[in-house]
């Protein structure tokens, strides 16, 4: 595939052996080089644990599959261009920034990543920008086609009758509501964090390098080594609880630095690197507020009082609307809906220790996660079971649609290969 993850993952450390490069195929105006095939084949070989020296026949088959895969991708690119599929510069920038962030996390730091690739981020983006754009066009074409696929009731029944014995089991799932409180720090803790943020802002105003200041002081471990880079973000995508961050960021011009901005996460100093209509590229410094044990105890006691009020007759919905700091769920009276326990995010791992032991209608004792403190009400639950149309129609329909989408897409690729100019220059 044109996927930049595979292209990036092929570095000098992974690739051994010299290739005398040559064109092996042409698709419309695009050429496929032998080096391109070898790069991806070696990457796949590592993932599939295929050693070319031990099993050369299997590796040769893999190379031929990779060539066919690349031809398919360039055929789809030609069709995307023919259908006038569009991708904006902002969308390309967002993908590039996310991929760079992923690699920085993988290698441990920006410096280590740049060392591995032998070039700075700016050059990496420049080299791979066109590949990302092409892949984006192909992805949009596929998304468009998938969106057009519909499943009739008759098709759904037929799919279920054919596939029911091979459909996966539905794991345990829970219908829950919650009230979340983020510990309200005491005045001393908050004042200490604010003074630190103001001191840092003063250093920046006096000419200190923002990137270096981030590495020295920021408490955001996810972005610290990357100079606080969050990347391109579209307006309106911020969680409601940190809308103050969004408002402050979009009020800035490229190159400007904000005053200290408070959110439930702590105090931020924001710098805008680029701004295009309703999309900005930002970096930030976060100073977290260190909460004391007294702060934590107060919130636990507060949640216990809320639990007592609900158990004494008040509705969970009204208490959640009044008190929860999970703003998205708060609008629905704390309603989260159905969740699969195996899909719970790592920062909410404690839910896995709570939910299996609650009875329907029961409210948990307060418990702590990386988000804050919670009390949870179990509204309903279903235990692991074989998938049926009666109990899991929506899930079966989703699987049926995905299956039909793949079949229709494969047929489209077959037709497209007959309509697009393809020349195999040389066998591998």
pLDDT digits (tens, 9 = 90+) for 200-234: 999 999 999 998 999 999 999 888 888 898 888 88
User: Strand (E) positions, 119-248?
Assistant: 173-181, 229-234
Please, what's the b/e burial string for 272-291 (b: 16 or more CB within 10 A of its CB; e: otherwise)?
bbebeeebbbbbbbbbebeb
Q: Which residue has the tokens 């805008």?
A: 272
Closest CA to 100 of 134, 125, 127: 125
With bands split at pLDDT 50, 70 and 90, how would you rate the model's confidence at 127? confident
How far apart CA 358 and CA 303 sit, in angstroms, is 17
What band does 185 get if pLDDT is binned at 50, 70 and 90?
Answer: low
Residues recorded for the chain: 428
What local confidence, expressed as pLDDT, does residue 48 receive?
A: 87
Mean pLDDT, residues 14-34 taken together = 75
Q: Compare 20 and 151 and report the one with higher pLDDT.
A: 151
- 177 three-state secondary structure: strand
Give the Cα separation of 234 and 248 in Å (integer): 14
**CATH numbers and ranges of domains, the chain:** 4-149+418-424 (1.10.4030.10), 173-184+292-382 (3.10.50.40), 187-287 (3.10.50.40)
Angle, to 10 degrees, between the axis of helix 121-148 and the axis of helix 110-117?
90
- The contacts of residue 175 (CB under 8 Å, 6+ apart) are 337, 338, 378, 379, 380, 381
What pLDDT score does 96 carry?
Answer: 87
Q: 100 to each of 55, 120, 121, 382, how far by Cα in Å? A: 34, 11, 8, 41
Given a contact cutoff of 8 angstroms between Cβ atoms, the answer to whether 73 and 131 are in contact is: no
Angle of CA points 399, 402, 407, to nearest 5°: 125
With 0-12 / 13-18 / 19 or more C-beta atoms within 10 angstroms meaning exposed / middle / buried, residue 150 is exposed
> Which pLDDT score, from 0 to 100, does residue 237 have?
74
**pLDDT confidence of residue 52:** 87
Average pLDDT over residues 384-394: 90
User: Picking from 139-148, 321-330, 351-360, 388-397, which range would have the lowest pLDDT averaged per residue?
Assistant: 321-330
Q: Find the angle CA(252)-CA(254)-CA(257) to the nearest 5 degrees.
A: 55
pTM: 0.58
Residue 3 neighbours by CB under 8 Å, 6+ apart: 135
Distances in Å between the Cα of 170 and the Cα atoms of 167, 280, 389, 394, 416 are 9, 41, 12, 12, 37
Examine the pLDDT at 198 and tell me if it is beyond 50: yes
């Amino acid at each position: 595939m044109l996927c930049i993850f595979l292209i990036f993952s092929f570095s000098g450390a992974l690739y051994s052996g010299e290739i005398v490069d040559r064109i092996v195929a042409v698709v419309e105006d695009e050429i496929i080089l032998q080096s391109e095939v070898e790069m991806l084949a070696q990457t796949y070989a590592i993932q599939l644990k295929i050693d070319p020296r031990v099993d050369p026949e299997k590796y040769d088959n893999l190379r031929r599959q990779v060539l066919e895969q690349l031809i398919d991708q360039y055929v789809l690119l030609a069709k995307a261009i023919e259908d006038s599929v569009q991708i904006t510069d902002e969308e390309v920038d967002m993908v590039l920034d996310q991929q760079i962030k992923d690699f920085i996390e993988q290698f441990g730091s920006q410096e280590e990543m740049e060392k591995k690739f032998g070039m700075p981020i700016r050059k990496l983006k420049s080299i791979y920008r066109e590949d990302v754009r092409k892949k984006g066009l192909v992805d949009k074409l596929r998304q468009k086609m998938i969106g057009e696929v519909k499943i009739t009731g008759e098709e759904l029944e037929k799919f279920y009758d054919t596939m029911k014995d091979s459909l996966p089991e539905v794991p345990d799932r829970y219908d829950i509501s919650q009230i979340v409180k983020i510990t309200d720090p005491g005045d001393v803790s908050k004042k200490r964090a604010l003074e630190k943020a103001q001191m840092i802002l003063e250093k920046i105003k006096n000419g200190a390098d923002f990137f270096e200041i981030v590495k020295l002081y920021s408490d955001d471990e996810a972005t610290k080594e990357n100079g606080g880079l969050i990347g391109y973000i579209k307006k309106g995508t911020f969680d409601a609880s940190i809308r103050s961050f969004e408002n402050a960021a979009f009020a800035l011009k490229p190159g400007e630095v904000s005053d200290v901005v408070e959110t439930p996460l702590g105090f931020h100093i924001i710098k805008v690197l680029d701004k295009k209509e309703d999309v900005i590229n930002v970096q930030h410094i976060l100073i977290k507020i260190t909460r004391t044990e007294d702060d934590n105890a107060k919130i636990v006691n507060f949640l216990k009082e809320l639990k007592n009020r609900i158990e004494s007759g008040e509705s969970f919905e009204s208490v959640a609307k009044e008190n929860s700091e999970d703003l998205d769920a708060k609008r629905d009276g704390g309603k989260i809906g159905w969740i699969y326990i195996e899909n719970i995010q790592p920062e909410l791992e404690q839910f896995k220790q709570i939910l299996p032991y609650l009875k329907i209608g029961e409210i948990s004792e307060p418990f702590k996660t990386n988000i804050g403190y919670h009390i949870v009400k179990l509204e309903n639950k279903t235990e692991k079971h074989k998938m049926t149309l009666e109990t899991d129609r929506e899930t079966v329909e989703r699987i049926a649609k995905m299956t039909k989408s793949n079949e229709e897409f494969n047929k489209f690729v077959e037709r497209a290969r007959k309509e697009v100019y393809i020349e195999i220059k040389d066998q591998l």
